[in-house]
Amino acid sequence: MLLRQNRAAQYIRMSTDMQRYSIENQAEAIALYAAQRGLSIVRTYEDAGRSGLSIEGRAALQELMRDVRSGLADFSIVLVYDVSRWGRFQDTDESVYYEFLCREAGVKIEYCTEQFQNDGSLTSTIIKNIKRAMAGEFSRELSAKVFAGQCRVVSKGYFIGSLPGFGLRRFLIDEFGRPKMQMSFGQQKALSSDRTILVPGPPEEVKIVHDIYDMFIDSKYSMSRIARELNSRGIANSSGREWNSVAIRQILANPKYNGAAVYNRTSKKLNSRYRKNPTSDWIRVSNAFEPVVSNERFRQAQQQIEDNARSYSETEMLDSLTAIWCKEGYLNASVVEQSEQAPCVNAYLEHFGGLVPAYRKIGYIGRLQFGKAPQLRKSIVAIIAEQIGRSGGIVRHDREYSQICVNDELEIAVVAGCIAPRCGKNQWQVRRKTLPKPDILVVVRVDDGRSVIQDYLLIPLLLLPSETWLTITTLRLGKLGAFKSTTLDPLVRLCARMDMRDWHD
């Protein structure tokens, strides 16, 4: 049986810096070191492809420290290839700290390829600290060299990155600028001398980019409204997912759509956080690529973004609403979004909590959302209760929540909304505060213009989200077609009590 002092663990780390630090090379050097000293490697902690700048993201090193500090480690030595594999910590005290924790627990760290013995002597301490400082400095120098190289590449009009963006594609050219091929998603260049540029993507994607600019500049749509519009059409973004305001802003604000090669819009130096850089720090080359949108349209989009970012006082926001009310005769999110003198709807949401509280401050009372919806819910609940009662069901009516309990076992909740919301969002956000959670949600879709019920969605519990908000977009509405009914008959039949004499073998 091996004594604990002869049992060792090995810690192996590889980032992407040098091939000689590959996992296999480290393991081979550590195995040779252990064999020469009669040590048996009983445990391996491996961080593959992990930066050594900090302990964050290095699951194996974290596990090693937990095992050592718990006192359950069945080894007395940790073998590491060299000082830099333990870590390229920017603060050398951090490297010292983790080694101290191991030593305090009776576990020694040994560096297998270093020219000094880690025995705590003055000489080894001085050399080790110098090595630690050099390891950290190497990362800083490498970061600076990589940054300078990338700046140089972009300054010549080339593209750096793997994701071109919606409506754009990467195109490979050789070192002399001769075209080679269009690159597919995830494809990498084979020769380091080759370069990448951007070209317009498929015509259908380019058209959608133009539509985004038209909606934002001409129709004064907000970015979130544009995203909802594209989602309602069933159009996916470049990642194959639904659009959001961040993705729309990327198309409207990124100069690459205007044919410019841009770098250093954001930066992240070593272990710091990402930060946005001022435009004066950008590396920008105009007319590097074939533009997708013209200079004039891109300039108009930037002006619109700047106007939308303007700060409004509460008085200005309320005066704008009053002016629109006087001009149009009514208020809703659509006319507010299209108005040139009013801030966007999101500004009212952030300042007042929504348009409705702002309406109240100027004395405006809207239509469906200020009385008809609660009355409609109550009438629908009464109709459902009455029809189920005639069919033999037992109904308890929860007046506070517009919810009924059928046969003491089935909870049914009712909400109402317009089939074409005047806000133009093409979606509902239905807030449910009911307890317990309903088994069936009855969504009443109303044609507000004619004040008549269009149809019902009878949505079962399994399709309801766990959160307190249910969002029904136009796209999701299509998927819920199986639960749509023009009458309440399916729900009544489900809840009806049947006489046993009606059953037949």
Are residues 344 and 300 located together in one domain of the fold? no
How many whole angstroms separate alpha carbon 268 and alpha carbon 283? 15
For residue 112, what pLDDT is reported?
Answer: 92
CATH number at residue 191: 3.90.1750.20
Q: Is the pTM of this model over 0.75?
A: no
Q: Is residue 128 part of a domain?
A: yes
SS (H, E, C) 357-371: HHHHHHCCCCCHHHC
What is the Cα–Cα distance from 237 to 248, expressed in whole angstroms? 9
Among 94, 124, 140, give the residue marking a domain's end. Answer: 140
Residue 403, domain member (yes or no): yes
Task: Quote the domain boundaries for residue 375.
Answer: 370-495
457 and 379 inside one domain: yes
Task: Identify whether residues 357 and 400 lie together within a single domain.
Answer: no
Does a structural domain hold residue 39? yes
Structure tokens at 381: 């609940």
Same domain, 123 and 31: yes
Question: Residue 106 is part of a domain; what is its CATH number?
Answer: 3.40.50.1390
- Whether residue 481 sits in one domain with residue 375: yes
Token pair 């970061």 in the structure block, residue: 143
Count CB-CB contacts under 10 A for residue 309.
10
b/e map of 445-455 (b: 16 or more CB within 10 Å)? bbebeeeebee
**Residue ranges of the chain whose pLDDT lies below 70:** 1-4, 16-21, 52, 162, 268-274, 340, 365-376, 398-402, 417-436, 447-452, 462-479, 497-505
Distance of CA 124 to the CA centre of its chain: 48
Q: Evaluate whether residue 114 is within a structural domain.
A: yes
Write out the two tokens for 358. 């702002």
The span from the CA of 113 to the CA of 107, in Å, is 19
DSSP state of 167: T
Rg of the chain (C-alpha set): 33
Report phi then psi at 385, rounded to 5: -60, -40
Q: Which amino acid is at 114?
A: E
In a domain, 202, yes or no: yes
Number of domains in the chain: 4
As a three-state string, the secondary structure of 284-332 is: EECCCCCCCCCHHHHHHHHHHHHHHCCCCCHHHHHHHHHHHHHHHCCCC
Give yes or no: residues 172 and 302 share one domain.
Answer: yes
Q: What is the pLDDT of residue 89?
A: 82
CATH number at residue 391: 3.40.1350
The residue whose two tokens read 């593959």 is 48
Asked whether residue 22 falls in the same domain as residue 127, the answer is yes
Nearest 5 degrees, angle CA 275-CA 279-CA 280? 110
Whether residues 250 and 318 share a domain: the answer is no
Flag whether 161 is in a domain: no
Q: Are 245 and 359 contained in the same domain?
A: no
149 belongs to a structural domain: no
Residues 362 and 374 in one domain: no
pLDDT for 468 equals 47
Give strand pairing partners of 405.
Answer: 396, 411
Domain boundary among 306, 326, 354: 306
Are 202 and 325 members of one domain?
A: no
- Give the end of a domain, one of 255, 280, 306: 306
Residue 162 lies in a domain: no
CA atoms within 13 A on the CB side of 422: 14
